[in-house]
Amino acid sequence: MISVHNEPQPTDLGDVRVANRAVVLRHVRVHAPCSRADIAARTGLNKATVSSLVSELIERRLVRETGLTENRIGRPATMLVLDGEPYAAVGMEIRADELVVVAVDLAGNRLLTWRRAFTPTDSPTDTVRVLATLARRAVARIVEQDRTVLGLTVGVPGLVDTTGAVPLATSLGWRDVALAAELRAALGDPEPGYPVSVDNEANLAALAEYRHGRHAGTPDLVHLTGGTGVGAGVISAGRLLRGGRGLAGEIGHLPLDPGGPVCACGRAGCVEAFVGLPAVARRLLPDTAEEGPVTDYLPELDRIQALARQGDPRVRAGLTEVGRRLGHAVSLVVNLVDPEVVLVGGHFAALSTWLLPPARQELAARAIAPDAGGLRLDASVLGATATALGGATAALAAIESGRLPAR
């Protein structure tokens, strides 16, 4: 197959070392415990290069030795595993009803997971202030543990451009918020100490799937976020699909049926108007509306699950219909992007027992590729903190691409 490259970049020996460092780091992450000889044998790098890189990685505490092992042919070898204990990254998410903070070390171990109730205010500035307070607390906690923070990435349920600004986030009522810049300012410009970036919630959730999910490592993978908004994070050939303005994956307002219900965006029959959590709650629990506007839908979700388990025919029928619409939405992504796996999160995951069978049927009928190109449609197992976890993962990208942390 052909691959087009836009701007080939000149390479020098420094780049080679960075690239090879990334190869070694990744090999240890995936195959640990492993010996220097294993790495040389499996990566094709020569032993001298490997041991020079490994010494450097040990010196910077990105990799550590676990002592000898005898369980092998030939003389015992010193085994290596990821260390990265002195390093951590922070991921955050702004949701319609809560703020989430997750920190992981380089090996992906969770250092903290905080969730804090939050009501979107009309003033993004207030949100930034709360966010900065949480971030400072998380960073302080990490520093107390003698760890260096490598980066902080915030996920937002809306459009995020390449500067980390948010042109539009409907569920937050935001327009043109320079989030990355404002957060950096509120944190007293921590860069270059640790870079602060902002990304779309679905992109970060896809990143978390790609690294920590049940189909981790699948190069063509989509994560569909479920909640007030519905978004797609697309990983294609191992890269996040961003688009020219970083606005790719906006599936929430694709029309499924021009005769469908009116959407919050003003259009008719959008994906969100059929399968977004508010639409599902309204449809399956007609009395919900009477209780006034709902931001935190957890009680509704519990009731729907309970009724479905009891076999309530109306709720079951409603879920089947929602599942069909979900399958229709997924078929749009499948025909255009051809992933190997689509993972659904949020309320789609919570209700997957009832949503996925009809969704798979509808998908098979609508996908142009025979057998939907062998696509697998599954529920995500990452839970409500997927996006924040993806943010922390994203903040480790520089190290994983072979660059060394600042001293």
- Residue 119 or 401: the one with the smaller Cβ distance to a second copy is 401
- Residue 157 or 288: the one with the smaller Cβ distance to a second copy is 157
How far is the C-alpha of 89 from the C-alpha of 74, rounded, in Å?
A: 39
Q: Is 252 in the site for a second copy (CB under 8 A)?
A: yes
Which of positions 37-96 make contact with a second copy (CB under 8 A)?
43-45
Q: At 151, give phi and psi (nearest 5°).
A: 175, 165
- Residue 196 or 315: the one with the smaller Cβ distance to a second copy is 196
Which one of residues 56, 312, 321, 338 is an interface residue with a second copy (CB under 8 A)? 338
CB of 294 to a second copy, least distance (A): 23
Give the binding-site size for a second copy (rule: CB under 8 A). 85
Longest alpha-carbon distance in the chain = 74
Q: Is 267 in the site for a second copy (CB under 8 A)?
A: yes
CB of 232 to a second copy, least distance (A): 7
- Residue 148 or 335: the one with the smaller Cβ distance to a second copy is 335
- Residue 243 or 286: the one with the smaller Cβ distance to a second copy is 243
Give the interface segment with a second copy, choosing from 89-97, 254-262, 301-309, 310-318 (CB under 8 A). 254-262
Which one of residues 35, 197, 352, 387 is an interface residue with a second copy (CB under 8 A)? 197
Q: Is 192 in the site for a second copy (CB under 8 A)?
A: no
How far is the C-alpha of 111 from the C-alpha of 186, rounded, in Å?
A: 24
CB of 310 to a second copy, least distance (A): 32
Q: Is 26 in the site for a second copy (CB under 8 A)?
A: yes
- Residue 351 or 392: the one with the smaller Cβ distance to a second copy is 392
Neighbours of 309 (CB within 10 A): 12
Which of positions 212-251 make contact with a second copy (CB under 8 A)?
217-220, 232, 234-251
Q: Is 143 in the site for a second copy (CB under 8 A)?
A: no
Which of positions 161-180 make contact with a second copy (CB under 8 A)?
162, 167-168
Which one of residues 199, 201, 300, 362 is an interface residue with a second copy (CB under 8 A)? 199
- Residue 4 or 117: the one with the smaller Cβ distance to a second copy is 4
Six-digit token string for 248: 């790719």
CB of 305 to a second copy, least distance (A): 30
Six-digit token string for 136: 């400072």
How far is the C-alpha of 270 from the C-alpha of 369, rounded, in Å?
A: 24
CB of 256 to a second copy, least distance (A): 8
Cα Rg, the chain, nearest whole Å: 23
Q: Is 262 in the site for a second copy (CB under 8 A)?
A: no
How far is the C-alpha of 244 from the C-alpha of 248, rounded, in Å?
A: 8
How far is the C-alpha of 82 from the C-alpha of 108, rounded, in Å?
A: 10
Q: At what angle do helices 124-144 and 179-186 cross, to 10 degrees?
A: 50
Six-digit token string for 395: 């903040």
How far is the C-alpha of 157 from the C-alpha of 346, rounded, in Å?
A: 13
Which of positions 340-379 make contact with a second copy (CB under 8 A)?
340, 366, 368-370, 373-375
Q: In a 10 Å sphere around its CB, with 0-12 CB exposed, 13-18 middle and 19+ buried, how is residue 122 labelled?
A: exposed
Helix (H, G, I), strand (E, B) or coil at 34: strand
How far is the C-alpha of 246 from the C-alpha of 200, rounded, in Å?
A: 9
Q: Is 335 in the site for a second copy (CB under 8 A)?
A: yes
Which one of residues 13, 48, 73, 117 is an interface residue with a second copy (CB under 8 A)? 13
How far is the C-alpha of 73 from the C-alpha of 55, rounded, in Å?
A: 24
| CA dihedral of residues 373, 245, 173, 182 (deg, nearest 10) | 130
